[in-house]
Amino acid sequence: MKSYVVGIDIGGTNTKLGIVDSRGTVLAKDSIKTNKHQCVEDYIEDLHKAFTALTRANGLEGEIGGTISKERSSMPQICPGRGLFLLPN
């Protein structure tokens, strides 16, 4: 099984997300607007949609564990100044 790392950079205007392999090669990247959301639930929903579309478009669906779940079966851990970390399932 290949190893992948998901990076999420939450900025005041944009949130950037990307997927790299174990060698650091960028496999996919995208961004969403951070400041258009009125509540965190809407933001998480858009982030989930963007990440799901990114994995599907790049043939990585089901290859990355610990992803954000709308059903909250896996929860993101937020660390101030360090971004959003996805916990394993």
Full-model pTM = 0.67
Q: Nearest-CA neighbor of 70 among 51, 42, 46, 48?
A: 48
Q: What is the pLDDT of residue 71?
A: 54
pLDDT of 28 higher than 70: yes
Q: Is residue 12 a contact partner of residue 34, using CB atoms and an 8 Å limit? A: yes
* Terminal CA-CA length for the chain: 16
Pairing, β 4-10 against β 14-21: antiparallel
Q: What is the pLDDT of residue 31?
A: 94
Pairwise CA distance, residues 13 & 23, whole Å: 29
Per-residue confidence band for 70, with pLDDT thresholds at 50, 70 and 90: low
The mean pLDDT of the chain is 76
Per-residue confidence band for 1, with pLDDT thresholds at 50, 70 and 90: low
